[in-house]
Structure 1
């Protein structure tokens, strides 16, 4: 390992490795908290793409966990003093079991496990619910990032005390996104600019009908172009979002006013892009978080409970139009967003401060454990 000295060895297990900018934002915030609490810690990140994690976080060790044998995972777990599960939305049907197999292997070795502002749901599959109950019953500390996640865990039968904190991405600091980069992306100077975020259907968004929501969001894009005389910049938060951005553009009558961000940017740079927008309309949770942190008026297009929870926390209207293909109410809400943009931005600001304070609560909850963490004797090694 390259960081820390002789301090405790902490593993971090989540959906990391560069495929999703939101997950990378979570990891960045989580690592900052860990280094503040235990600067001597040696950190091991279980990553889907270890090479990417090593490049972006050179002070940690990155190891694979997908497609890795139980014995090889055990070799890494035997070196750890604590395993952190999370953050981010990883405990949902058919995905939770994959992460929790690693957690079970850790607990079999007597390794303490905590969850770090984890996101939960939808969670209905019997196997996933059973594994969640079994592993979290033995967890030292359970923190979730929103009230929705706590409710899902309670409905799954988890009896361990659950602390609601906030997404680690609320702790991120932006990096500058120069206007010249926008020119390189084909966005002309001196024009109003709307940020838009779309996502792919999948296990986390199973209710989305691809062609239906592409057509619906194309109408939103056209409305914004004509209503504001604006350009629309689609911001992919993971690679497959590019394809779906093209799908929306293909249905827009004003497609010449649409652009898709193609550069390879860090979460901090995408955060720094937000002040260039006049308003933002989006599906991806962390796109919306970055807009909120930047004081940009935004409209969530919810597809899952985590987006509704964000809207509730920040007092922002959120319609179910994306899943239900309801055009009229959605366009009316977009129109209202523009008319009330200044008042909405002002109203959201104090709520954002509150949520940022809640996000700091994860580190506060973990502080006694982390400050008192000592190196344990690895399995199979006598004292």
Structure 2
């Protein structure tokens, strides 16, 4: 019956529509500079976290603060927190990534090295930031997609099935995945970022 109504040849499963997005023509580097990021000072790493359960969110933020502080010590990294959820619906406060961004900044000892994009921008403008990042640490599904579109090395913090399936399907060497919850989150993420930056630092220095 279904075959008679919808012929097989007309059924098409496509990738998420975000894969068709193109970066805005405006320079993403200007948006980074507006946030206080100066790429000549050291590697620039994008970060995206989202709120989960209270305890898990606390554990992730606490570990990430230690990770970012350590990367400042080792590589003089700068970080830009890129929200992918702005709490558009007031009842869904957990959808506002800026909340967890402020918590992360509070936990960091080197908080001055973390900048937060607090204003909402068009997806194309946010996508335009990614080519100017040396690496990205992300949780949200579309943040990983943006990394793939721009071929930005990403450490994905996998919190649900759709992110895991995306990574499995794309099977890209640019993605290093870590399943949550994770007892050794700090060491896994640090080792992944070290691996990325060790390979990229010479090119970064040439461009500065």
TM range (shorter): 0.7 to 0.9
Residue by residue over 1:317-355, the C-alpha shift from the partner in whole angstroms, topping out at 9 and shown as x without a partner, is 3122x422423233222222323459xxxxxxxxxxxxx
User: Is it true that 1:182 corresponds to 2:51 in the alignment?
Assistant: no
Task: Name which of 129, 138, 142 aligns with 1:286.
Answer: 142
- C-alpha separation in 1, matches of 2:102 and 2:50: 11
Match of 1:227 in 2: 74
* DSSP-derived class of the 1:323 partner: coil
- C-alpha separation in 1, matches of 2:115 and 2:77: 11
Task: Name which of 335, 339, 363 aligns with 2:198.
Answer: 339
Q: Which has the larger radius of gyration?
A: 1
User: Is it true that 1:323 corresponds to 2:181 in the alignment?
Assistant: yes
* DSSP-derived class of the 2:158 partner: coil
Match of 1:200 in 2: 51
Residue by residue over 1:111-144, the C-alpha shift from the partner in whole angstroms, topping out at 9 and shown as x without a partner, is xxxxxxxxxxxxxxxxxxxxxxxxxx8xx66xxx
Match of 2:131 in 1: 275
* DSSP-derived class of the 2:71 partner: helix
What is the Cα deviation at residue 301 of structure 1? Answer: 0.9
Residue by residue over 1:154-198, the C-alpha shift from the partner in whole angstroms, topping out at 9 and shown as x without a partner, is xxxxxxxx8643111001111033433322212235232110111
* DSSP-derived class of the 1:256 partner: helix
What is the Cα deviation at residue 251 of structure 1? Answer: 1.3
Runs of 4+ in 1 over 4 A off after TM superposition: none
- C-alpha separation in 2, matches of 1:199 and 1:228: 25
Task: Name which of 4, 14, 19 aligns with 1:170.
Answer: 19
What is the Cα deviation at residue 209 of structure 1? Answer: 1.1
More helix by share: 2
Distance 1:185 1:305, change over 3 A: same
Distance 1:298 1:178, change over 3 A: closer
- C-alpha separation in 1, matches of 2:58 and 2:67: 14
- C-alpha separation in 2, matches of 1:332 and 1:250: 24
* TM-score, normalised with respect to structure 2: 0.76
What is the Cα deviation at residue 293 of structure 1? Answer: 0.9
User: Is it true that 1:257 corresponds to 2:116 in the alignment?
Assistant: no
What is the Cα deviation at residue 257 of structure 1? Answer: 0.5
- C-alpha separation in 1, matches of 2:125 and 2:20: 14
What is the Cα deviation at residue 226 of structure 1? Answer: 2.3
Q: Name the Cα RMSD after superposition.
A: 2.5
Query: Is the contact made by 2:135 and 2:193 (CA closer than 8 Å) also made in structure 1?
Result: no
Higher relative contact order (CA 8 A, sep 6+): 2
Equivalent residues, number:
180
Question: Which stretches in structure 2 are left out of the alignment for 5+ residues?
Answer: 87-95, 202-208
- C-alpha separation in 1, matches of 2:193 and 2:122: 28
What is the Cα deviation at residue 208 of structure 1? Answer: 6.5
Residue by residue over 1:195-224, the C-alpha shift from the partner in whole angstroms, topping out at 9 and shown as x without a partner, is 0111111xxxx5961211111111222233
Distance 1:178 1:271, change over 3 A: closer
Query: Is the contact made by 2:22 and 2:124 (CA closer than 8 Å) also made in structure 1?
Result: yes
Distance 1:164 1:341, change over 3 A: farther
Query: Is the contact made by 2:62 and 2:104 (CA closer than 8 Å) also made in structure 1?
Result: yes
After the TM superposition, which of the residue ranges 309-318 and 260-269 deviates more from structure 2? 309-318
